Amino acid sequence: MAILLDEKTKVIVQGITGREGSFHTKLMLDYGTKIVAGVTPGKGGQEVHGVPVYDTVEEAVKEHPDATASIIFVPARFAADAVYEAVDAGMKLVVVITEHIPVHEALKFINYAKQKGTTVIGPNCPGLISPGKAKLGIMPGHVFKEGPIGIISRSGTLTYEIGYALSKQGMGQSTVIGIGGDPVIGTSFTEAMELFEKDPETEALVLVGEIGGDMEERAAQMIKEGRFTKPVVAFIAGRTAPPGKRMGHAGAIIMMGTGTYQGKVKALEEAGVKVAKTPFEIPELLRQALKK
């Protein structure tokens, strides 16, 4: 099994006629994702890689009522409206690839989506992939392989690197989620962990964190309290980052003594989680964790 996304999921691409939307639609289709419609206002009636384009998500859903997921490649200034449109049209999963969305806008649409029962991944994220089934995002499909390991990551590039390291060692993945690196995101570590806990085919989990925020500490607390029972291995990026300096992601800033590398590692280790010093240690640490 997989979480959130599988080979049956029917997808709408918002911003399909743009350069990024068109490019990644082709790659997602090639991977096997069931993309049934695209949306770009004013471009209704066109086709992109054989996918029909509509002016609104509402129109797309009228023609394709079995669509349940949307992916957003819309420029930042229109992205919030695109999310509201997807949620109002009944999408159960919305993946927001767009970066540079103002924090106050993200707060509003994430809160709105939660009230309506829609799961948001992102913004500013690489999306998710259930290897061998479907991908919804910009992850390079060839580095992942089907199997029993879940991955939740704040970093896009590290997600690919760790997925590849696991695949090379014959340790395939159930679902890989890039949750995004902004200060406000739709799905946190603990929310994704709840889904993996319920998935019978996920046997273990890799958490890829980074400095800033307290998501990793919350994940550690969840494990400590016995609310996540499967083996967990972690990697935290930013070991050498100077305090007070923002490192790449808007969410990766240490402030007022919280969100430090040392604090995150300590919290995870106290919860019984092995923390790798390099991504390449993860397969061996996972083997050890699965033997226990």
How far is 180 from 120, CA to CA, in rounded Å?
Answer: 11
Q: Above 80 in pLDDT, residue 182?
A: yes
- Residue with tokens 């919305």, as numbered in its chain: 94
pLDDT at 245: 53
Q: How does pLDDT run across 41-73, given as a tens digit for each residue?
A: 999 999 999 999 999 999 999 999 999 999 999
**Which residues contact residue 13 at a Cβ distance below 8 angstroms, ignoring those fewer than 6 apart?**
21, 25, 28, 35, 37, 38, 39, 48, 51, 70, 71, 73
State the catalytic residue, choosing from 24, 100, 104, 249.
249
How far is 207 from 284, CA to CA, in rounded Å?
Answer: 15
pLDDT at 272: 96
| Annotated domain spans of the chain | 10-121, 140-291
How do beta strands 47-48 and 204-210 pair?
Answer: unpaired
Q: Above 90 in pLDDT, residue 36?
A: yes
- Percent of the chain scored above 90 by pLDDT? 87
How far is 46 from 51, CA to CA, in rounded Å?
Answer: 8
pLDDT, the chain, mean: 93
- Residue with tokens 């226990």, as numbered in its chain: 292
Homologous superfamily, domain 10-121: NAD(P)-binding Rossmann-like Domain (3.40.50.720)
CA angle 58, 76, 88 (to 5 degrees): 25
User: Quick one: tokens of 126?
Assistant: 């690489």
* 249 catalytically annotated: yes
pLDDT at 280: 92
Q: How does pLDDT run across 207-238, given as a tens digit for each residue?
A: 999 998 899 999 999 999 999 999 999 999 97
3-class secondary structure per residue, the chain: CCCCCCCCCEEEEECCCCHHHHHHHHHHHHHCCEEEEEECCCCCCCEECCEEEECCHHHHHHHCCCCCEEEECCCHHHHHHHHHHHHHCCCCEEEECCCCCCHHHHHHHHHHHHHCCCEEECCCCCEEEECCCEEEECCCHHHCCEEEEEEEECCHHHHHHHHHHHHHCCCCEEEEEECCCCCCCCCCHHHHHHHHHHCCCCCEEEEEEECCCCHHHHHHHHHHCCCCCCCEEEEEECCCCCCCCCCCCCCCCCECCECCHHHHHHHHHHCCCEEECCHHHHHHHHHHHHHC
Instruction: State the average pLDDT over residues 121-145.
Output: 97
Q: Which CATH number fits domain 140-291: 3.40.50.261, 1.10.3720.10, 3.40.50.720, 1.10.357.10?
A: 3.40.50.261
pLDDT at 103: 95
Same fold, 10-121 and 140-291: yes
Residue 175 main-chain phi, psi, to 5 deg: -145, 145
Residue 93 main-chain phi, psi, to 5 deg: -135, 125
- Percent of the chain scored above 70 by pLDDT? 93
CB 134 within 8 A of CB 9: yes
Q: Above 80 in pLDDT, residue 153?
A: yes
Q: How does pLDDT run across 239-281, given as a tens digit for each residue?
A: 655 555 555 555 555 554 568 899 999 999 999 999 999 999 9
pLDDT at 259: 81
| Whether the model pTM is above 0.85 | yes
User: Quick one: tokens of 123?
Assistant: 């913004």
Q: Above 70 in pLDDT, residue 101?
A: yes
